[in-house]
Homo-oligomer: A and B are copies of this chain.
Amino acid sequence: MTRVDGRKPDELRQVTILRGWQEHAEGSALISAGKTRVLCAASVTTGVPRWRKGSGLGWVTAEYSMLPRATNTRNDRESVRGRIGGRTHEISRLIGRSLRACIDLAALGENTIAIDCDVLLADGGTRTAAITGAYVALVDATRWLGRPAAITTSIAAVSVGVVRGEPMLDLAYTEDSTADTDMNVVCTGADGFVEVQGTAEGAPFDRAMLDRLLDLAMFGCAQLTEIQAEALRGPAPAGPARPEGTR
């Protein structure tokens, strides 16, 4: 079966990760997966939220958003509507949870890293691209902070789904919108699961199909892990000057 863009069912879209694109941030990455493009920035601040003070532990949080015209038709800004929508909330929480799974918060010290994932162009898989790119920005932020050991594993994410009865990897928007089942999977570099979120949009899926989807997702995440490692080779981009006392 041929896919809309000629890929095989178990084939990822082309993924590129550019580090340091947002020059002011302590870590940043512009990730492209096909026509999905997400700008990820990691901002370091000394100190932690009030409820965490004195614990010796750091904190990592995330926010996701989409530019109004990232998609086929323009969406109103959430700032103009005056409220964050449910989908945005849900994805922001997912990204934050996923990234906290690769961080040793004690090794981070009482510092906060805020991850911003802004979708510049959307063609499906924006939340998983955001997680995959944010990991790279996060690594650079810990390096900038002089605490690279706070990273305990790597984190990558990919979508899988059932399209016209067949399991497929890394769905593009037109595939995603017609899929019977849509699943987002977040894995560590050591084949552990961090998040499994599967939804039957059409017919329910059975246990056998679930197994095939999980296989595909693990296969995809392993490749993304390599692409991340490649991107992270070489020194971190310059980044802002290091404030006194943050190390």
Contacts and interface: CB of A to CB of B under 8 A. Distances in A.
Interface residues of A, number: 68
A67 B79 contact: no
A238 to B, nearest CB: 13
A82 B80 contact: no
11 contacts: A24-B69, A24-B71, A43-B68, A63-B68, A65-B79, A68-B114, A72-B240, A80-B84, A83-B83, A86-B89, A194-B204
Contacts of A198: 193, 195-197
- Copies of this chain, complex-wide, total 6
B22 A120 contact: yes
Interface stretch (A90-98, A126-134, A143-151, A229-237): A90-98
Given A24-B69, A41-B68, A197-B196, A86 B93 contact: yes
A35 to B, nearest CB: 7
Contacts of A83: 79, 82-84
A241 to B, nearest CB: 10
A118 B37 CA distance: 15
A226 interface: no
A72 B196 contact: no
A246 interface: no
A207 interface: yes
A206 interface: yes
Contacts of A97: 199
B24 A72 contact: yes
Interface string A69-108: 1111110011111111111111011000100010000000
Interface string A167-207: 00000000000000001000110111111111110011111
